[in-house]
Structure 1
Amino acid sequence: MTSIELWLSELGAVKSADDPCLWQWHLPKWLAEIELKQDELRVTWTQDTKKSQFDFPYGLPRQDVEAALVQGP
């Protein structure tokens, strides 16, 4: 397990059985799909029927990415 996968697992995200690069993170107010791309993390938040997407380059500090993920859409 890579450090990114370990970190996502610690957050409570679950790896897709069909796509090893796709993770889902369910929180009470929204769902985040986190895709491990070659150069970035792509996050798509779904809240009710609204979707928001953002790409985080791997060079960003983990704390900054985690804070943005927790903040949500």
Structure 2
Amino acid sequence: MTELPDPATPLYAHPLPTLECWLKEIGAVQQRGNICRWDLHLSDWSAELELETEELTVRWHQDGSRTVRQFPYGLSRADVEAAIMLGP
């Protein structure tokens, strides 16, 4: 398994295989039909994470509603992970 850099490291400093390893570590599963999209399911909500050119887009789904946020790759992995896991 790929070793992750310090959590304070901006996402742009992570090679793609390292970003994929991190997404797996937080419980996300890569979609078969679109390798840029990942699904994350927790007890209260689910989310679709998309690795885009300029940012990581997160679409949370909870009780029939949807919340969308974009996180620039300049943010630290720790900050983005905290925001994702906080949920909608």
**Same fold judged by TM-score > 0.5?**
yes
Instruction: Please list every run of 5 or more consecutive structure 1 residues that lacks an aligned counterpart in the other structure.
Output: none
The 2-side partners of 1:39 and 1:3 are apart by 17
What is the aligned partner in structure 1 of residue 45 from structure 2?
30
Q: Which has the higher contact order (CA 8 A, sep 6+)?
A: 2
SS in 2 for 1:3: helix
Residue 48 (structure 1) shift: 1.0
Residue 2 (structure 1) shift: 1.2
Instruction: Please list every run of 5 or more consecutive structure 2 residues that lacks an aligned counterpart in the other structure.
Output: 1-15
| 2:30 maps to 1:19 | no
Greater C-alpha radius of gyration: 2
Q: 1:1-73 counterparts in 2 under 5 A?
A: 2-73=17-88
**Runs in 1 of length 4+ with deviation above 2 angstroms?**
none
SS in 2 for 1:55: strand
How much identity, in percent, do the aligned residues show? Answer: 48
Q: Deviations over 1:6-34 (max 9, x none)?
A: 10000110000000000000000000100
Please give the TM-score of this superposition, normalised by the length of structure 1: 0.97
Q: Give the root-mean-square deviation of aligned CA atoms.
A: 0.8
Q: Deviations over 1:36-73 (max 9, x none)?
A: 00011000000010100000001100000000011000
The 2-side partners of 1:22 and 1:8 are apart by 10
SS in 1 for 2:83: helix
